[in-house]
């Protein structure tokens, strides 16, 4: 595979090229940046590349001429820090679609609003595809008393590759909550209604031909699931009850190339989630498409032309693929052979399958963007997500598992400082960071984690565990945590004790650090196990479960979400109170670090302010960092850098200098 730096990538990286740094700690800013290439897309003809570059904390849209590297015309524009980019995609060979979101407020409640823009290839003209004004008054947020404000104006159902000037979008035309499917002309913004809006439908799905065939959502009031299905033969719309064995709330992944065949997710009597084909004509499940006995299915793999399903993905320690099409398997294997040991994350392919755009990473190697031309059998390295890190040696990541107190096996990952990998320091009695993931119904994998590698660069080893409640390992693993939040906390504690028993961790130098739910777990760890942790750091963490429940209820269908998300994990209201850090802050004696953004939609800022006030009654030494106009993910570069510098100092003050530090 021939790797080279093309002209257009030299432009991106001209100010970022550095030499490897190993003699001293890598600067915090090298890890706190957002990925340099946040997203990328290739035009259908393969001649143009659109990238979302993050430079100095700003999003920059840049377009490059792949067909003519000598083309030096500058094509790009920047976006203010208040605008967050979701994705970029080519609508056709001349126009780009850019999806964005912004934090806004209504009656004191923070929420995200989404927008879609059509931009010409030279990045000289930009237009909002769908304006947020809605004509008919209804329940929602008023805009100056005129009409209604629609929150989501960027939901694309189908990009319609065979109709390059049109896309199908889901939105409410007259009532912001009555979501219908509409064909939209991205040039003149004209709209054709395909399916009338309904307050009971929030999602629409097309078949392989681009025809809207499925509507799914929750009913107003009851929150019960509803599904409506268009029969491919009669064109009649029918409810899910017309099809035996098909539930209204079924996970639907799409259609096969046969318009009668629906791909649905099902446990089908097993512990894990698999893919099955439901034949709408025969009104029954007809065959298994994919089912792994250890891991839940993640998604389907679609052919480059979008006409057929060629495989499925699932997450083991890394992303895995199961192919139904031997030819397509050979294509991706061609790429994998060129980058052995790397995870390949396919972004997209040209419809003719000639060129693939993808990122490749390893647990100890940050992601990088590549192109591969199958006709020419040539690969092009484009750019690194963390260019300042470059070729510096990162920490090794090892898959581990430990036994919880009830003999349940908990999988996890240990990231060790580079000095451990080089043999300079023995993996014994080290300062350790315990880092439970957010969610809590998410999971960690053996992939590059900037926060874990940042801590390893300071000489700390890091344990990340997929405690019960983590997704992807089957129903028993996930539901055990959903039904009992205390088990999730115990799994974290048991992982810490395992490290001590093994002699890996110095029991006097262990800090628990987490983000979101992980921040909640960090605070609860300081309460339930004060002798186990030297310090505790919570970033955008939950502190008051009752208040969190009330906050979620402010959003549409929130009262139904909290039942499965929080309430089912506790016995009663007293149990919820006993497991809320803010209610037990006076018990904390461990040093505490807390950081939060004022515009956090996921975990509102009052979770931070209440805990800060409550900790005044404790004996804990505290460090608080509040960031104006910042969201849950610390998207702003300066804010994230400042937060991580504060965390770096907090860890150093409480754990001391590590013998494994550079």
Q: What does the pLDDT read at residue 103?
A: 84
Q: What are the structure tokens assigned to 459, written together? A: 């000489």
Neighbours of 460 (CB within 10 A): 28
- Return the higher-pLDDT residue of 137 and 606: 606
Between 221 and 360, residue with greater pLDDT: 360
**3 state SS of 198:** strand
pLDDT surpassing 80 at residue 177: yes
pLDDT at 29 (0 to 100)? 92
Q: What does the pLDDT average to over 41-62?
A: 92
> Which residues on neighbouring strands pair with residue 252, listed in sequence order?
264
Report whether 515 contacts 434 (CB < 8 A).
no
Quick one: pLDDT at residue 147? Answer: 60
Nearest CA to 518 among 616, 441, 576? Answer: 441
pLDDT tier at 220, thresholds 50, 70, 90? confident
What confidence score (pLDDT) does residue 143 get? 39
Q: Between β-strands 284-290 and 592-597, what pairing exists: parallel, antiparallel or unpaired?
A: unpaired
Task: Assess whether pLDDT exceeds 70 at residue 361.
Answer: yes
In the three-class reduction of DSSP (H, G, I as helix; E, B as strand; rest coil), residue 620 is classed as: coil
The CA distance from 328 to 330, in Å, is 5
pLDDT digits (tens, 9 = 90+) for 510-526: 999 999 999 999 999 99
Handedness of CA 466, 471, 472, 476 (dihedral sign): positive
pLDDT of residue 23: 54
Q: Which three-class secondary structure state does DSSP give residue 326?
A: helix
Rounded mean pLDDT, 403-413:
97
- Kindly state the tokens that stand for 593: 């670090």
Tell which phi-psi region holds residue 221, choosing left (phi > 0), alpha (psi between -120 and 50) or beta.
left
Whether the predicted pLDDT of 250 surpasses 70? yes
How confident is the model over 211-224, as a mean pLDDT?
Answer: 92
Cis peptide before 440 (omega within 30 of 0): yes
Give the tens place of pLDDT for each residue, 366-376. Answer: 999 999 999 99
Four-residue CA torsion sign, 573, 605, 57, 349: positive
Statement: residue 102 has pLDDT above 90: no
**Across the beta sheet with 365-373, what order do the strands follow?**
343-349, 355-362, 365-373, 378-384
**Is the confidence at residue 267, as pLDDT, over 80?**
yes
Instruction: For residue 405, count other CB atoms closer than 10 A to its CB.
Output: 11
Secondary structure of residue 451 in the 3-state scheme: helix
Of all residues in the chain, what percent carry a pLDDT higher than 90?
82
In this predicted structure, what is the pLDDT of residue 201? Answer: 94
Inter-CA distances, 650 with 169, 220, 572, Å: 47, 47, 36
- Give the per-residue SS3 of 69-135: CCCCCCCEEEECCCCEEEEEEECCCCEEEEEEEEEEEECCEEEEEEEEEEEECCCCCEEECCCCEEC
Q: What's the pLDDT score for residue 390?
A: 80
Q: Which of 59-68, 138-147, 474-483 has the lowest mean pLDDT?
A: 138-147
Task: Name the band, by pLDDT with cuts 50, 70 and 90, for residue 135.
Answer: low
CA-based nearest residue to 489, from 452, 533, 525, 532:
525
379 versus 17: the higher-pLDDT residue is 379
Q: Is the confidence at residue 7, as pLDDT, over 50?
A: no
Three-state DSSP state, 1: coil
Instruction: Read off the pLDDT of residues 435-471 as tens digits, 9 standing for 90 and up.
Output: 999 999 999 999 999 999 999 999 999 999 999 999 9
Q: Which residue has the higher pLDDT, 184 or 174?
A: 184
SS3 string, 354-393, reads CEEEEEEEECCEEEEEEEEECCCCEEEEEEECCCCCCCCC
pLDDT for res 146? 46
- Taking the complete model, does pTM exceed 0.85, yes or no? yes
Residue 641 reports pLDDT greater than 80: yes
State the pairing for strand pair 592-597/535-539: parallel
How many angstroms separate the CA atoms of 15 and 423, rounded? 34
CA 251 to chain CA centroid, nearest Å: 19
Which two structure tokens, joined as six digits, stand for 409? 């096996």
CB-CB contact of 464 with 413 (8 Å): yes
Domains of the chain: 396-654 (3.40.50.1820)
pLDDT surpasses 80 at 12: no
DSSP 510: E
Q: Which residues touch 80 (CB under 8 Å, ≥6 apart)?
A: 58
Query: CA-CA distance, 428 to 503, in Å (whole number)?
Result: 6
> In the predicted model, is pLDDT for residue 477 greater than 90?
yes
What is the rounded average pLDDT of the residues 188-204?
93
Instruction: Determine the pLDDT at residue 512.
Output: 98
Angle between helices 545-553 and 558-565 (to 10 degrees): 150
Please say whether the beta carbons of 134 and 148 come within 8 A.
yes
What's the average model confidence in pLDDT over 1-22?
35
CA angle (194 as vertex; 246, 218 as ends), nearest 5: 40
Mean pLDDT of 632-649: 94
Secondary structure (3-state) at 479: helix
From 139, 75, 155, select the one nearest 106 (Cα to Cα): 139
Please compute the mean of the pLDDT values over residues 301-329 and round it to a whole number.
94
What is d(CA 395, CA 463) in angstroms, rounded to the nearest whole number?
A: 12
Averaged confidence pLDDT in the chain: 91
State residue 549's pLDDT score.
93
* pLDDT for res 476: 96
> What six digits make up the tokens of 72?
């030096």
Indicate the range of 110-124, 143-157, 483-497 predicted with least confidence: 143-157
- pLDDT recorded at residue 145: 40
Q: Beta partners for 362?
A: 365
Helix, strand and coil in the chain, % to nearest 5: 20, 35, 45
Model confidence over 580-593: pLDDT tens digits?
A: 999 999 999 999 99
H-helix segments, 259-369 = 326-338
Q: What was the pLDDT predicted at 379?
A: 93
Cα–Cα dist 317/399, whole Å: 8
Q: What is the mean pLDDT of residues 391-415?
A: 95
Instruction: Indicate the range of 184-193, 240-249, 325-334 predicted with least confidence.
Output: 325-334
State yes or no: pLDDT of 184 exceeds 60. Answer: yes
Q: Which candidate, 368, 266, 354, places its Cα nearest to that of 304? A: 354
């Amino acid at each position: 595979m021939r790797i080279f730096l093309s002209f257009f990538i030299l432009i991106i990286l001209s100010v970022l090229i550095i030499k490897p740094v190993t003699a001293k700690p890598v600067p915090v800013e090298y890890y706190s940046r957002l990925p340099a290439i946040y997203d990328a897309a290739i035009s259908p003809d393969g001649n143009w590349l659109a990238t979302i570059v993050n430079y100095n904390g700003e999003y920059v849209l840049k377009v490059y001429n792949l067909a003519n590297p000598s083309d030096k015309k500058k094509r790009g524009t920047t976006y203010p820090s208040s605008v967050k980019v979701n994705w970029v995609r080519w609508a056709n060979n001349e126009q780009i679609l850019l999806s964005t979101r912004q934090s806004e407020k209504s009656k004191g409640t923070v929420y995200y609003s989404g927008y879609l823009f059509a931009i010409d290839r030279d990045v000289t003209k930009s237009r909002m595809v769908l304006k947020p004004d809605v004509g008919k008054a209804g329940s929602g947020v008023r805009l100056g008393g005129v009409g209604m404000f629609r929150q989501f104006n960027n939901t694309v159902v189908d990009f319609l590759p065979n109709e390059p000037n049109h896309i199908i979008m889901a939105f409410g035309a007259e009532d912001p909550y009555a979501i219908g499917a509409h064909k939209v002309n991205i040039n003149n913004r004209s709209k054709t209604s395909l399916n009338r809006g309904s307050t009971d439908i929030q999602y629409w799905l097309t078949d392989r031909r681009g025809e809207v065939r499925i509507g799914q959502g929750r009913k107003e009031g009851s929150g019960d699931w509803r599904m409506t299905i268009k029969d491919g033969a009669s064109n009649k719309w029918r409810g899910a009850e017309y099809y035996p064995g098909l539930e209204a709330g079924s996970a639907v992944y799409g259609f096969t190339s046969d318009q009668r065949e629906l791909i649905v997710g099902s446990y089908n009597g097993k512990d894990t989630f698999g893919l099955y084909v439901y034949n709408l004509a025969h009104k029954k499940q007809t065959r298994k498409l994919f089912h792994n006995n250890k891991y839940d299915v993640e998604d389907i793999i679609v052919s480059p032309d979008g006409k057929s399903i060629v495989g499925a993905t699932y997450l083991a320690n890394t992303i895995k693929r199961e192919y139904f099409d031997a030819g397509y398997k050979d294509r991706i294997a061609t790429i994998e052979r060129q980058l052995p040991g790397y995870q390949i994350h396919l972004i997209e392919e040209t419809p003719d399958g000639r060129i693939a755009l993808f990122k490749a990473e390893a647990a100890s190697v940050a992601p990088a963007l590549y192109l591969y031309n199958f006709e020419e059998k040539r690969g092009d390295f484009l750019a690194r997500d963390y260019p300042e890190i470059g070729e510096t040696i990162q920490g090794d990541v090892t898959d581990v598992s430990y036994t919880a107190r009830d003999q349940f096996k908990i999988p996890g990952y240990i990231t060790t400082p580079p000095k451990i990998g080089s043999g300079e320091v023995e993996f014994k009695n080290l300062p350790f960071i315990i880092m439970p993931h957010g969610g809590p119904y998410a999971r960690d994998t053996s992939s590059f984690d900037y926060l874990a590698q940042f801590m390893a660069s300071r000489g700390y080893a890091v344990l990340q565990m997929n405690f019960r409640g983590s997704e992807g390992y089957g129903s028993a693993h996930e539901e055990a945590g959903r039904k009992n939040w205390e088990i999730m906390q115990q799994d974290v504690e048991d992982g810490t004790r395992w490290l001590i028993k093994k002699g890996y961790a110095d029991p006097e130098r262990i800090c628990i650090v987490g983000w979101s739910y992980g921040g909640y777990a960090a605070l609860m760890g300081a309460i339930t196990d004060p002798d186990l942790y030297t310090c505790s750091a919570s970033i955008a963490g939950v502190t008051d479960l009752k208040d969190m429940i009330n906050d979620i209820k402010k959003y549409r269908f929130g009262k139904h979400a909290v039942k499965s998300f929080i309430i089912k994990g506790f016995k009663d209201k007293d149990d919820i109170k006993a497991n809320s850090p803010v209610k037990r802050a006076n018990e904390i004696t461990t040093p505490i670090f807390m950081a939060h953004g004022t515009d956090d939609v996921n975990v509102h800022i009052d979770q931070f302010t209440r805990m800060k006030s409550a900790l005044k009654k404790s004996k804990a030494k505290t460090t608080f960092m509040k960031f104006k106009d910042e969201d849950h993910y610390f998207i702003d570069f300066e804010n994230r850098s400042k937060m991580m510098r504060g965390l770096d100092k907090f860890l150093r003050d409480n754990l001391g200098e590590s013998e494994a530090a550079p």
